[in-house]
Structures are given as structure tokens and as C-alpha cells.
Structure 1
Amino acid sequence: MNDVFRQFSLEGQVAVVTGAGKGIGRACALMLARAGADVALFARTEADLASVNAEIIAMGRRAIIVPGDANKEEDLDRLMQRTLQELGKLTVLVNNVGGGGPSDPRKFKGSSVADMLSFNVVPAYNLIQKSAAAMETAGGGAVINISSVAAKYAQKHFSAYAASKAALNQLTRNLAQDFGPVVRINAIEPGTIMTDALAPFLTPERKERMERSTPMARMGRPEDIASAVLFLASPASSWITGKVLSVDGGVEAPNF
């Protein structure tokens, strides 16, 4: 193998991808498998995981399906146990579970803010904690948390979501200090990506305005994020930890 390509190879690696059934998670799982990794697929909808699983198996890689809820610690324990038992080790973790959207702070209850903060931070924290020992045993590992550009913007109706993703960014920076040098922990801030989650908010007028205000003149694709995940999971980024990488088409201000 060419030395350049070897720097991006994940041959012999085992990855866990949460939210792997659709969108960014699906693209990440497929990208890591193409780079040589075996993949444990985790999400709530088993049928979605089965489709991704079939594509990975067709590549000649191993994959397992672990349906579950990232908010339930027993489901995360089962994910870890099955990954180690059936795939042999764990070296890459993609914390993609999370989400949210616009909310009116005059109506959005504090309990809903707490739920959003928990959803975007606690599963990632739990999985990093549960994965660290296995990665150390394997000789090293890489964690990639999927955040959002909302974490760095000030805009109307995004206080709860932005705060939760900003918390995930700071979690990334601090845990990198705790688990280095053996485990690297980084995050990616996607810009506006064409996914099923975005579709309900994307009117034709809004899409046209967003494309016009993006230097790269298009919306992002899940594969754009998956390529960045591959870089941060691979030996090519072996001296990068505790960093947040924006993958946003060059947008420097809110354009939603």
C-alpha cells in the first residue's frame, strides 16, 4: 500500500458508530468500512441498521447491529460488550447521536432544555468513559464527537441547542486532556447538511438563501462529514486531539 494511503487506512481497526442508521451516522459507518474498519452499528431503528449492515458486509468487512437507545446506559453497556465479544476490540468511536433544532425561549420549558443538554452531552460522555479502557488495551484509539456550528453562533431561537453543542465541544477539549496520549478525542462541527433531520425545516426559499450565503455555493452532504471523520480516526491525524473542526462550506455567520 502506498505510504500516503496507509496514513488514511483503518485496516485492523474496529469502530462504533452511534446513530448509524441514517444521515451522517450512516455515511460515517460506510466511510470507515471502506477504509478497512469493522463496524458496530448502533441506533434505535433496527431496519435502518440492517440496510447499512448489508452494505458493509458486501464490502467484505465485518459489522454487527446493536439496536438501542443512547439515553439508556444498559443499552450502551450492551453495545460495548457485543463489540468486544464479536469484533474483538474497539479503536474508533463516533458519537453521532444527538440533535435538536430551533426553539422559542418564551415557550420552551426548562425541562426541555435539560433534556436537550442531556441528549447531546451525556451519551457521548458515557460512551467515552466506557470505551477508554478497551482503547487503551488495544494500544490506542480515536473518538470523534459530532457537534454543530450552532455551538459558535449567536442567533435567535437556538439557545438550547447551541448551548448543548457548545457543552459537547468543551467536553471534547477537556476529556482529551484526561485520556491522552493513548486516546485522542476531537469533534466536528457540521454546517447545514442535507439530511432527513433538516428536511422539515428546509423550505425552497431557505435552501436557496443558504446556498447563496455559503462560499462553497452548496449545502453539505453526509459524506463531507464522513470524510472528516475518517481523517480524525486515521493515523494521518495522530498529533491532533482536543480540537473542534468546522466542516461548513466556509460559512462564518448563521445562515439558517
Structure 2
Amino acid sequence: MNPTELFNLKGKTAIVTGGANGIGKASCEMLAAFGAKVVVSDYNLEQAKKTSKEINDKGGNSIAIDCDVTKDEALVNLVDKTMAEYGSIEILVNNVGGGGAGRESPYDIEVTQFQKVFEMNVFSTWRLCQLVAPHMKKAGYGSIINMSSMASINKSPAISAYASSKAAINHMTRNLAFDYGPDNIRVNAIGPGAVRTNALKTVLTPELEKAMLKHTPINRLGEAEDIAGAVLYFAAPISSWTSGQIIFINGGGEQTLDM
């Protein structure tokens, strides 16, 4: 065992969707810090370029590519541009996700809204896996990391579209691990708990935070870097015999709002 090689990502290329901010940005920075060439993919190209520049200014190797994951031509373009720039793809972080958590009452939403959540969270993830797999097979190394959520196993009101889409991510991850395993491609997923991203900060109050931490043994909310650490583990050689797994990063508990 050579300890220095366990987390060495030099010579490997990583695509991170939704990489401009939050967990995506922290993942880009983490992977770059351990030697990966990183493609910061985001629908907000200017913000993606800013994140990419920050990585490069610290000595990393990164480019930004705009991508709306709900459009197939954008997914194809993302993979094609990555191959043109770096010549290989070894790591994919399917980080993009969305939904109306707490705003998905079946009495109020339309079926088209439900469909859009699945298009963003499930269909785009599956399609990108399909697009990168041949390149990973050729490279002889592949790690696909899908972003799930604690919502995939919790039960809460007005979140049925988002929660069921993340549950689909869990089972899809386990099944794709069987499909791609023979080609030395690992497929795993991460289920974050409540993470102190900009989106959460806009609604967070001291009272809300206290309620969320009532059933959390490690008595703090997560940080984006906490999730990026799990991304690094799955991306790196240290997890070379780990596939089809969903790891929940949640401080040991559930950040629910019951008082």
C-alpha cells in the first residue's frame, strides 16, 4: 500500500454538474486540490467561469462549460467539449438537482411540475452516465457519483416529487453499478443532510436551526466541504472496491423540523 496514491487524482478528468456554487463548487475545489482536471459545468456560465478561475489561480487545472441538464444536446456538448479539451473522462459528479421541497402539495402542483423534477434529477443523471461510460471504459478507470438526499428515505409533506426522484437516484445507482462494474466503472451516491448553502441561509433562523438539530448527534449543520469529502472518497482509488453504495452525510441524524 502506498498512502500517497490512495487519494491521488493526477491525470484524471472530472465533470461536476452544478459546479458553480454550493456543494458543486466545494466538490470542484476538492477534486482539483487532489490533482484532478476539473470541468465546472453549470447553467450559469459566468459563475462557472468564476469558480474555474479561482481553481486555476490556486494552481489547479479547470475549465467552465455551460450546461442545462434538462436538454440532451447540452449534455452531449458537455461530454464532447470535455473530451476535446482533456482527452479523457474518469470522474462524473451528477450534482445538479432541484425541486420544490415543501412546495409540492399534490393538491397544488401540476403533473408537468412533477415531470420537470424527474427530468432534472433522474433523467439527466442517467443520460450523463450513459454518455461518459464509454470514455471511462476506454480510460480503464471510472467513478460516477450521484447526488441523492436525506429526502430519499425521510417522509415529509409537500415534497413528493423531489423525494421520490431522489429515491429513484438511490435505486438507479445500485442498478447501474451492476451494469458498469465489469468495465471497471464504480457508481455510488451521496445523500446530504441539511447543508449550510446559500439557499438554506436565505431562510435559516436561529430557531429553525435549533429545531433542525434536535435529532442530530453532531450538533451542527453540514458544510459544503463535508459533502465534498465524500465525493473525494468515491472519486479516488481508495474506494476502488466500493460500488452501488449510498452514503448519508448528515451528522449522524435527521435535520427534521418537528419540535
Interval containing the TM-score (normalised by the shorter chain): over 0.9
What CA distance in whole angstroms lies between the structure 2 residues aligned with 1:123 and 1:163? 15
Q: CA deviation at 1:252?
A: 4.4
Paired position in structure 2 for 1:16: 15
Matches within 5 A, 1:86-105: 86-100=85-99, 101-102=101-102, 103-105=104-106
Q: CA deviation at 1:63?
A: 1.1
Paired position in structure 2 for 1:134: 135
Q: In the alignment, is the contact (CA less than 8 A) between 1:185 and 1:241 conserved in 2?
A: yes
Where 1:180 maps in the other structure, the secondary structure is: helix
What CA distance in whole angstroms lies between the structure 1 residues aligned with 2:225 and 2:4? 18
Q: CA deviation at 1:109?
A: 1.8
Q: Normalising by structure 1, what TM-score?
A: 0.95
Q: CA deviation at 1:255?
A: 4.0
Q: CA deviation at 1:230?
A: 0.1
User: Which of the numbers 245, 248, 253 marks the counterpart of 2:247?
Assistant: 245
Q: 1:137 to 1:229 in 2, by over 3 A?
A: same
Where 2:97 maps in the other structure, the secondary structure is: coil
Where 2:213 maps in the other structure, the secondary structure is: helix
Q: Normalising by structure 2, what TM-score?
A: 0.94
Q: In the alignment, is the contact (CA less than 8 A) between 1:173 and 1:243 conserved in 2?
A: yes
What CA distance in whole angstroms lies between the structure 2 residues aligned with 1:169 and 1:155? 18
Q: Greater CA deviation, 151-160 or 223-232?
A: 151-160
What CA distance in whole angstroms lies between the structure 1 residues aligned with 2:202 and 2:21? 15
Where 2:198 maps in the other structure, the secondary structure is: coil
Q: In the alignment, is the contact (CA less than 8 A) between 1:153 and 1:253 conserved in 2?
A: no
Q: CA deviation at 1:253?
A: 7.0
What CA distance in whole angstroms lies between the structure 1 residues aligned with 2:179 and 2:191? 22
What CA distance in whole angstroms lies between the structure 2 residues aligned with 1:94 and 1:25? 8
Q: CA deviation at 1:204?
A: 3.1
Matches within 5 A, 1:1-256: 3-100=2-99, 101-102=101-102, 103-181=104-182, 182-252=184-254, 254-255=256-257
Q: CA deviation at 1:151?
A: 0.2
Where 2:41 maps in the other structure, the secondary structure is: strand
Q: Deviations over 1:12-35 (max 9, x none)?
A: 111000000100000000000001
Q: In the alignment, is the contact (CA less than 8 A) between 1:117 and 1:164 conserved in 2?
A: yes
Q: Give the gaps of 5 or more residues in structure 1.
A: none
2:245 corresponds to which letter in structure 1?
K
Q: Deviations over 1:82-137 (max 9, x none)?
A: 11111121000000011221122221222211111221101111100000000001
* Alignment: residue pair count: 255
2:210 corresponds to which letter in structure 1?
E
What CA distance in whole angstroms lies between the structure 1 residues aligned with 2:220 and 2:248? 16
Note the aligned Cα RMSD (angstroms).
1.5
Q: CA deviation at 1:5?
A: 3.2
Q: Greater CA deviation, 239-248 or 106-115?
A: 106-115
Q: CA deviation at 1:3?
A: 2.3
Q: In the alignment, is the contact (CA less than 8 A) between 1:213 and 1:255 conserved in 2?
A: no
Q: CA deviation at 1:48?
A: 1.1
What is the aligned-residue identity percentage? 40
Q: Greater CA deviation, 196-205 or 166-175?
A: 196-205
Q: Greater CA deviation, 204-213 or 69-78?
A: 204-213
Q: In the alignment, is the contact (CA less than 8 A) between 2:149 and 2:193 conserved in 1?
A: yes
Q: In the alignment, is the contact (CA less than 8 A) between 1:172 and 1:187 conserved in 2?
A: yes
Q: Deviations over 1:26-68 (max 9, x none)?
A: 0000000001000111101112112211122123222111112
Q: In the alignment, is the contact (CA less than 8 A) between 2:193 and 2:254 conserved in 1?
A: no
Q: CA deviation at 1:140?
A: 1.6
